[in-house]
Amino acid sequence: MPLLGSLGVQRLAVGGAATDACVLCTAIDAHVRGVRVAVLEDLAAATRGRGERALDLMRESLGLCVCSWRAWLAQLGK
């Protein structure tokens, strides 16, 4: 059983230094395992253009929440 599942994780916020690599792969990996993923766009970095394309892919193709960390924290209470 994957680690997140064994820990009972249902939501995951992702950020990092490589939006188009590590952040994208982590978000997809969690998403296909049924975890609700939020990508914190203001806490993710990438080369110009590549990061935006990765965020668009996660938002439009995967239907993930791509938002600021403040918006993510605000929606936790809902």
Phi and psi angles of residue 40, each rounded to the nearest 5 degrees, phi first:
-85, 95
Phi/psi of residue 72, nearest 5 degrees: -65, -45
Q: Is residue 47 part of a domain?
A: yes
Its domain, for residue 40, covers 10-70
In a domain, 1, yes or no: no
Top-confidence residue, 70 or 78:
70
What total number of domains does the chain contain?
Answer: 1
**Euclidean distance between CA atoms 10 and 1, whole angstroms:** 14
Q: Are 40 and 69 in contact (CB under 8 A)?
A: yes
pLDDT per position as a tens digit, 7-39? 999 999 999 999 999 999 999 999 999 999 999
